[in-house]
């Protein structure tokens, strides 16, 4: 089965840039979606189809996907960005959705 690997935690100072990676075999050939989840809340999509940003999501959030790594980048990080972030793909060969283990973003 397809596996997505995320770092358990990332820390960043306010105003700096955070990069959260999602590794998978040839993930560049798949569409990657990213979700933000704050405590006690349902996930919210912040990037879908690798690079698209839903309406209402700040331009500070961007995504890229190539080779074996997809990346969620958050520029000018704010305290309100502190949350868990999950990557997600559809694996056609296994006919299954797969989530990464999640990354806890801490704003110092």
Partner 1 sequence: QVQLVQSGAEVKKPGASVKVSCKVSGYPLPELSIHWVRQAPGKGLEWMGGFDPKDEETIYAQKFQGRVTITEDTATDTAYMELRSLRTEDTAVYYCASDAGASGYDLTYWGQGSLVTVSS
Query: Which residues in this chain contact partner 1 in the complex, by CB under 8 A?
Result: 1, 31, 33, 35, 42-45, 48-49, 54, 86, 88-90, 95-102
- Token representation of residue 78: 């704010």
**Residue 77 or 89 with smaller CB distance to partner 1:** 89
CA within 13 Å, CB half, 69 = 8
CB 1 within 8 Å of CB 98: yes
CB of 28 to partner 1, least distance (A): 16
Task: Provide, rounded to whole angstroms, the least separation between the CB of residue 87 and partner 1.
Answer: 10
Our CB check for partner 1 shows the closer of 13 and 83 to be 83
CA-nearest of 28, 29, 65 to 47 is: 65
Residue 33 or 83: the one with the smaller Cβ distance to partner 1 is 33
Strand blocks (E) in 24-82: 32-37, 44-47, 61-66, 69-74
Nearer to partner 1, 17 or 106 (CB): 106
CA dist., res. 48 & res. 35, Å (int): 9
CB of 75 to partner 1, least distance (A): 23
């Amino acid at each position: 089965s397809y596996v997505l690997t995320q770092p358990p935690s990332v820390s960043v100072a306010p105003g700096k840039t955070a990069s959260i990676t999602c590794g998978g075999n040839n993930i560049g050939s798949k569409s990657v979606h990213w979700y933000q989840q704050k405590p006690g809340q349902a996930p919210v999509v912040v990037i879908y189809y690798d690079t698209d940003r839903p309406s209402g999501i700040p331009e500070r959030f961007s995504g890229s996907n190539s080779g074996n790594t997809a990346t969620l980048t958050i520029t000018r990080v704010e305290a309100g960005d502190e949350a868990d972030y999950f990557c997600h793909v559809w694996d056609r060969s296994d006919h299954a959705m797969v989530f990464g283990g999640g990354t806890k973003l801490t704003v110092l």
